[in-house]
Amino acid sequence: MDQPLPPPRADAAPPPYALGLFGGRFDPVHRGHTAIAQAAADQLGLHEVRWLVTGQPVHKTASASADHRLAMTRLALEALHDPRMVLDDREVRAAQQGKESASHATVASFQAQYPGRPLVWILGEDQLASFTQWRQWQWLVQSVTLAVCRRPGAAATASEQALLAAGARLCQILLAPDTVSSTDIRQRVRDGQPLGETVSPAVARYIHDHQIYLHPPGGSP
Ligand code: ATP
């Protein structure tokens, strides 16, 4: 599909009292994550963004345990000193209790907790591209506004076309591209390379102290 994504719909802009939801494995959390969450809060005027650390990832496997990923995310958010950014462990708790922890279950739990409060799901390009593979994605797009971070002018993917056809409310978050990824950080740790400014110093220290990511998943300890 080569058509450019249409401009954000005027009626897609959520009110400031909408609750931002930002989910990820955060394996580990890095500066790209903090950049997108803060850009979404800035550009949409959100007062609060919940960081949802996945329990047992639905789409991919995680390298570090949920407890480690939660601890690292907590450290990264403490270093930000941004009261809008709030850690939320409900997906980890749900997974540990053997309950459904996929995104649709998370959104349903927020709807039950905050009836009538608009919800904004913040996501980057890779999650956007695979969104139509998420469980209950048609219900999800009716239940939240999608705040997507994508390159301006980039062609709309088949997934985006399907989302728009399903009535998704999409708003675009503008963000300077940064190729940092958790995959790259895990590789750097395995290779003994410095992490530089990809993660906060407290997260780098945590990775070092707990000897995380030294071996590929499934490799010898
Ligand atoms: P991995 O490399 O293990 O696939 P990741 O770096 O993509 O991980 P996730 O925890 O899977 O991190 O991503 C959480 C969210 O952050 C997703 O919506 C993803 O699109 C977004 N994201 C990840 N890296 C960036 C980045 N560099 N810039 C903007 N958004 C990002």
Model pLDDT for residues 76-131, shown as the tens digit of each residue: 999 999 999 999 999 999 998 888 889 999 999 999 999 999 999 999 988 888 89
CA pair distance 64, 215, nearest whole angstrom: 11
Can you tell me which atom of ligand 1 is nearest the CA of 185? Answer: 2
Q: Considering the domain boundaries, does residue 215 fall inside one?
A: no
Q: Is residue 7 part of a domain?
A: no
Report the distance separating Cα 50 and Cα 199, nearest Å.
19
Question: How many domains is the chain built from?
Answer: 1
Could you tell me the residue range of the domain that residue 53 belongs to?
A: 19-209
- Tell me, in angstroms, the distance from the centre of ligand 1 to residue 32's CA: 7
Q: What is the pLDDT of residue 11?
A: 53
Residue indicated by tokens 């650390």 = 53
C-alpha dihedral sign at 173, 174, 179, 182: negative
Nearest residue (by CA) to ligand 1, atom 27, is 32
The domain that holds 103 is classified in CATH as 3.40.50.620
Ligand 1 close to Cβ of residue 27 (< 6 A): yes
Question: Does residue 1 form part of some domain?
Answer: no
Residue closest by Cα to atom 28 of ligand 1: 32
- Tell me whether residue 120 is in a domain: yes
Is the predicted pLDDT of residue 15 greater than 90, yes or no? no
Question: Mean pLDDT across the stretch 172-190?
Answer: 93
Residue 44 lies in a domain: yes
Residue 5 lies in a domain: no
178 lines ligand 1 (CB under 6 A): yes
Residue 160 has pLDDT above 90, yes or no: no
This prediction's pTM: 0.91
Q: How confident is the model at residue 58 (pLDDT cuts 50, 70, 90)?
A: low
